[in-house]
C-alpha cells in the first residue's frame, strides 16, 4: 500500500529527553542511545539514557504528586 512507509529523513523527531514531573530533562549521566529502524537498520535518532539517578528523580516526583 502506498503511503505506509515514510522516509526516515521526513520524520520530525520532537522528543528525545526523559519525561519526569511533566517536564523534559536530559539524562543526569549525559548518555544517549540510538533508536534504530527495524526496516532499514538506519539510526532514526538518539534518546537520553536514564540511569538510577533519573529513576530516583522520577520516583520522588511521583511520590510528591500523591
Domain positions in the chain are 16-65
In angstroms, how far is CA 15 from the centroid of its own chain? 6
At 56 the three-state DSSP class reads helix
* Beta carbons within 8 Å of 17's beta carbon, 6+ residues apart: 24, 25, 26, 27, 47, 48
**pLDDT score at 1:** 46
Alpha-carbon gap, residue 17 to 35, rounded angstroms: 13
The kind and range of the H/E element at 62 are: helix 52-65
Task: Please write the tens of the pLDDT for every residue from 7-53.
Answer: 667 788 999 999 999 999 999 999 999 999 998 899 999 999 999 99
Amino acid at each position: 500500500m502506498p503511503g505506509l512507509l515514510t522516509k526516515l529523513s521526513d520524520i520530525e523527531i520532537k522528543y528525545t529527553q526523559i519525561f519526569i514531573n511533566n517536564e523534559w530533562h536530559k539524562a543526569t549521566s549525559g548518555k544517549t542511545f540510538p533508536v534504530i529502524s527495524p526496516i532499514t537498520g538506519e539510526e532514526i535518532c538518539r534518546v537520553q539514557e536514564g540511569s538510577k539517578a533519573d529513576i530516583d528523580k522520577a520516583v520522588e516526583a511521583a511520590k510528591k504528586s500523591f
